[in-house]
Structure 1
Amino acid sequence: MTNDKSDKLTDGSHMAPDDDQQEIDLLELARKLWNGRRTLLRWAIYGAVAGIVIAFSIPKEYTTTIKLAPEATNNQGMSGNLGALAAMAGISAGSSTGADAIGTQLYPDIVSSVPFAIGLFDVKVTDREGNDTITVRRYLTEEISAPWWSYITSLPARAIGGIRSLFSGSDDADDLRKPDAFRLTPDESGIAAALASRVSVESAAKTSVISISVTMQDPMVSAMLADTVAERLKEYVIGYRTNKARKDMEYAQKINDEARQAYYEAQQRYASYVDNNQGIILRSKRNEEERLQNEQALAFNLYNTTAQQLQVAKAKVQEITPVFTVVQPSTVPLAPSKPSKMLILVGCVFLAVVGASAWVLFGSDVLDTLRKARQKEG
């Protein structure tokens, strides 16, 4: 028992100095920070000045958001009215159309794709004053401004590009050529990437509401381009979903046109024969008349059937065409969405204070250690 007590006392005697040492170290760090409070304050002021300069150097950006609610996809075959019309034409209405291969979760990939981006190059936009109308391609290359330090960091790349264009002399030809998604020029690839970064699409998993956001430095350009992106996306989805039905309708139209032409020709042959053989009682002539009359009736029945099938095909196209409800329309933004000047200011001050604290706590000690080491070496 005596040994146990002595061990406990010994353990306690070992633990107490560690706790005291840890407390002394924390107090020492706090003392260093208090003694260096002027340095911390000075660095905080420097950080605030840097934050203000950075915040006011970054151009303002305006974001326009459009929200669309797509119609639910009907995968249960034809509806009641269309099914009745199909039954009259002798078409089975019980087959399912199958699941839609393009869901709302794929809309962001569609909008960010290269073909979709280069399709927006020639869209005409107007600035906020309404005085200048240019294409999106020219706006992104000529009207977008950047912070002042970007001109310094991009000097080497601009110099190399200028030398390359001087020897190649192909810039004018590249500006006039129509963009080809299969083979883009470096400038076209950069514009497409910049456009894709400024256009975003999000789809809510529960409600399937699609949010289309466009960020530009001009609020009018942002609103106009958001409208265009929404319309192009709707056209793409409608074109995809109705592609098969439209091809079926075109084929039904072709068959109906051929059947109508055949009916008109059979009708004309029968009418001409009757006009030329009035009053003739020969049996052979009457047999020929009956044959032409039967051909006319058959041609009419075929024409009537194909006409019904054509109507069913047209109704099917209308049936499967999706409808998008605009939950939130495009409006010209009044306030910029970024940069957040307060967030930049707070971030710069915080980083400056952290750097100053590290210097006060450890920087002077490191310098003293290096100085002493040099003195010993000397």
Structure 2
Amino acid sequence: MDNNNHILSSPQQEIDLIALAAYLWKRKRLLLKCCGIAVITGLVVAFSLPKEYTTTVKLAPETTDATSKMGNLGGLAAMAGIDLGSAAGQDALSPNLYPDIVHSTPFLLELFPEKVTDKEKKQTMSLYDYMADHQRAAWWSAVVKAPLKGLAALRALFSHTEESDSVLNPFLLTRKQEAVLRDLRQRTTVFVDKKTMVVTLAVEMQDPLISAEVARSIAGKLQTYITRYRTQKAKKDLEFTEKVLKESRAAYYKAQQAYAAFEDGNKNIISASYRTEQERLRNEMTLTFNVYNTLAQKLEQDKLRVQEQTPVYTIIEPASVPLKASSPKKLLILVAFTFLTFLGGSGYLVIKKIH
């Protein structure tokens, strides 16, 4: 066999790289034609894909233990006779759960009615309508989805139940609503740094202004969700304490008036029954006052707890309208098409030569 054609050595079947390179060099015209076709195909694909814009928001949530937080007001509360030790506890909703919260169905469904405006400010619509009816796609997607649309039309023709997309029922979503929900979930990413606990939220949309609007809305709703979760128990305790305090205040005032009326109506009377009734009314007034005073202290404690349980978020990187598209990466597509074509063509020539 000729040295130029000797690609494989006989005993160990090892590849002779020099002979392989010389063989491929002889077939360079074929490889160049293939790479040229790959470049043209890559350009068609790169310019057919719609542009996507990504907005990134970074925020640092407050993750301090509640024990140390309540200790900040410990001295002030102690002066008022309030013990804040019972208010301490651990935060059950750590930043590691934020991705699951953002990707949950109830959270994303709250974004559907949000109003968004395109970058030309020509149209204002709900986020659901934008994602359902105003998404651009590559030209070949229409060919691929045509059979699926035909099947959907036949199913709707023979189906006895009509799906209404105007009604949003989280328990029973329509196919169109489920598709929009799935698309929105894929376009939203949340990453939590395990060391710094910095939360990075990224939203990808085909319109830069809508991308920034949705990212800002998600960041705001996430803060509201966490704040509501962290403070709901303390707020319920505060409402209950306020209710019981009103009842105890009325009972104390009633006991106070009864004692005063008894004293006014029994002046200059000295008897055992008088002293017994006087002691009973005084004890009842003292007891209701102690309950009222305790609840008043607890009310101040609950107010402090609501304030301390409210988390504080530091916005490291706020939402801003992206100026450049994040995808498609045209250069990367061209390089990938060219490299894979060259690799495939070289492999084909080598296999053809061996056999």
Bin of the TM-score, shorter chain as denominator length: 0.7 to 0.9
Select 1:85's aligned residue among 77, 85, 91.
Answer: 77
C-alpha distance in structure 1 between counterparts of 2:209 and 2:137, whole Å? 19
C-alpha distance in structure 2 between counterparts of 1:313 and 1:346, whole Å? 63
Structure 2 residue 23 is the aligned partner of structure 1 residue 32: yes
State the partner residue of 1:214. 203
Give the counterpart letter for 2:37 in structure 1: Y
Structure 2 residue 320 is the aligned partner of structure 1 residue 331: yes
Q: Which runs of 5+ in 1 are unaligned?
A: 1-16, 367-378
Counterparts of 1:285-300 in structure 2, within 5 Å, are 292=281, 295-300=284-289
Counterparts of 1:116-265 in structure 2, within 5 Å, are 116-168=107-159, 174-180=164-170, 182-265=171-254
User: SS state of the match for residue 113, structure 2?
Assistant: coil
User: SS state of the match for residue 175, structure 1?
Assistant: coil
Structure 2 residue 299 is the aligned partner of structure 1 residue 310: yes
Shift in Å at residue 246 of structure 1? 2.2
Select 1:347's aligned residue among 329, 336, 355.
Answer: 336
Alpha-carbon displacement from aligned partner over 1:82-104 (angstroms, at most 9, x marks no partner): 4642674453x445834322221
Q: 1:81 to 1:187 in 2, by over 3 A?
A: same
User: SS state of the match for residue 68, structure 1?
Assistant: strand
Alignment coverage as a number of residue pairs: 344
Select 2:106's aligned residue among 88, 109, 115.
Answer: 115
Give the counterpart letter for 1:253 in structure 2: E
* Conservation of the 8 A alpha-carbon contact between 2:132 and 2:176: no
Q: Which sits farther off after the overlay, 343-352 or 129-138?
A: 129-138
Q: 1:201 to 1:296 in 2, by over 3 A?
A: same
C-alpha distance in structure 1 between counterparts of 2:43 and 2:160, whole Å? 42
User: SS state of the match for residue 91, structure 2?
Assistant: coil
User: SS state of the match for residue 176, structure 1?
Assistant: coil
User: SS state of the match for residue 67, structure 2?
Assistant: coil
Select 1:74's aligned residue among 51, 60, 65.
Answer: 65
State the partner residue of 2:51. 60
* Conservation of the 8 A alpha-carbon contact between 1:118 and 1:179: no
Q: 1:330 to 1:169 in 2, by over 3 A?
A: farther
Q: TM-score, normalised by structure 1?
A: 0.81
Shift in Å at residue 159 of structure 1? 1.0
Q: Which runs of 5+ in 2 are unaligned?
A: 1-8
C-alpha distance in structure 1 between counterparts of 2:203 and 2:13, whole Å? 58
Alpha-carbon displacement from aligned partner over 1:300-356 (angstroms, at most 9, x marks no partner): 332222111111011011112211100111111111111101000111111222222
Q: TM-score, normalised by structure 2?
A: 0.86
Q: Kindly name which structure, 1 or 2, has the bigger radius of gyration based on alpha carbons.
A: 1
User: SS state of the match for residue 130, structure 1?
Assistant: coil
State the partner residue of 1:6. none
C-alpha RMSD of matched pairs (Å): 2.9
C-alpha distance in structure 1 between counterparts of 2:77 and 2:257, whole Å? 31
User: SS state of the match for residue 164, structure 2?
Assistant: helix
* Conservation of the 8 A alpha-carbon contact between 1:69 and 1:208: yes
Q: 1:350 to 1:83 in 2, by over 3 A?
A: same
Structure 2 residue 93 is the aligned partner of structure 1 residue 102: yes
Shift in Å at residue 121 of structure 1? 1.4
* Conservation of the 8 A alpha-carbon contact between 2:87 and 2:305: no
Q: Which sits farther off after the overlay, 243-252 or 347-356?
A: 243-252
C-alpha distance in structure 2 between counterparts of 1:337 and 1:198, whole Å? 12
Shift in Å at residue 177 of structure 1? 1.8
Structure 2 residue 349 is the aligned partner of structure 1 residue 357: no
Aligned-pair identity in percent equals 42
Alpha-carbon displacement from aligned partner over 1:93-124 (angstroms, at most 9, x marks no partner): 44583432222122111111122121211222
C-alpha distance in structure 2 between counterparts of 1:245 and 1:51, whole Å? 59
* Conservation of the 8 A alpha-carbon contact between 2:57 and 2:201: yes
Shift in Å at residue 245 of structure 1? 2.1
Q: Which sits farther off after the overlay, 182-191 or 217-226?
A: 182-191
Q: Which sits farther off after the overlay, 152-161 or 265-274?
A: 265-274
C-alpha distance in structure 2 between counterparts of 1:184 and 1:75, whole Å? 39
